[in-house]
Amino acid sequence: MSISATNGDQQYDRATAVRQFDESKIGVKGLVDSGATTIPPFFIHPPENLPNSNSSTAPSASDLIPFVDLTGVDSDRRSLIVEQIRDASREFGFFQVINHGVPSDVINRTINSMKAFNEQPTEVKSQYYSRERRGVTFSTNFDLYQSKAASWRDTVQMRLSPTRPDLELIPEIFRSEALEWDEHVRRVGEVLMEILSEGLGVKSEKLKELSCSEARVMVSHYYPYCPQPDLTLGITPHTDPGVLTMLLQNQIGGLQVKHGDEWLDVKPMPDAIVINIGDILQVLSNDEYKSVEHRVLANPHREPRISIAIFLNPSKRENMYGPLPELTSREKPALFQQFRLEEFMKKFFTKELDSKSMINFFKL
């Protein structure tokens, strides 16, 4: 198959290979199922962009990403929870929450339903394969044609709110599970927005008033076994553009967060929800909270890695966003310019997914 041509082939036409792969609608799971023992050249990343000795997988480093227990969030423990989340958001931009009230069976059914979708025959999945930004899509790398090298994952993307797709457009195999998970995300997300507001020293309702969790998009990544995991990545280093990301992951690791010059593992823990700060929240907080680079390594295991992220964003797309007025003063001026959300998101979707944070475009 021409999409599996090697770099040694002088006739290799990258643009044609990418197009043929995309038009086949088989995804990287399809390449694995076809028995591929090497990855197509357009998935190979330059050596300088691949993990090296700066990657830390030592247990002590992995344990740095904080776990926050939400037990008693409305009790006298609240001040401690506010402090823990504030500190994690400042230092790491990532933390995991436990005892959040989402039942284990909801989490497990959601993960299993997304796994089941990806493991259907290609002819079933391919009817959803598309690069159009419609209600529900399945594809490999949203930036496949813009990126310098593709990453080893397939993705389902679904708009959840404020306008949900027609139910019949959502694959039945994960329909009820995804919608139920979204209801829990909305509830837990509102609690976290209050906690994050209090951590900034503004009123609890501040982020809610800005509609920060009202526009939600689910992005579920499926990382099948990669035959040459040292040559590619699952996802390249990037920051998330929105306000907050809430993510489920199964027990196959690979998610890493950049902290200083080190890459720290985000260790899978049953029933934990991974939370990370997005670019818009870093702007709103006037640089108090950090949106940090993260990546996913290519999966060397026969068992797939599954992740299901819901991105929480403002729904008021025509409004202007910038540092909260309560957080700026003569001593600490605004560090970012105001922008319209429409402009911000358009810029994100027209660039390659890379480590150039969106906030760099809006720094003063």
Q: Report the pLDDT value the prediction gives residue 65, as an integer from 0 to 100.
A: 95
pTM above 0.85, yes or no: yes
Structural domains of the chain ordered from first start: 21-361 (2.60.120.330)
String of DSSP letters for 66-102: PEEE-TTTTTTTHHHHHHHHHHHHHHTSEEEEES-S-
**For residue 24, with 0-12 CB atoms within 10 Å meaning exposed, 13-18 middle and 19 or more buried, which class applies?**
middle
- Report residue 309: phi and psi, to 5°: -105, 140
User: 């090697």: which residue's tokens?
Assistant: 6
Cα–Cα nearest to 312, from 347, 351, 341, 353? 341
Q: Report the pLDDT value the prediction gives residue 6, as an integer from 0 to 100.
A: 44
Q: Report the pLDDT value the prediction gives residue 362, as an integer from 0 to 100.
A: 80
Residues of the chain with pLDDT under 70: 1-11, 53-62, 348-358
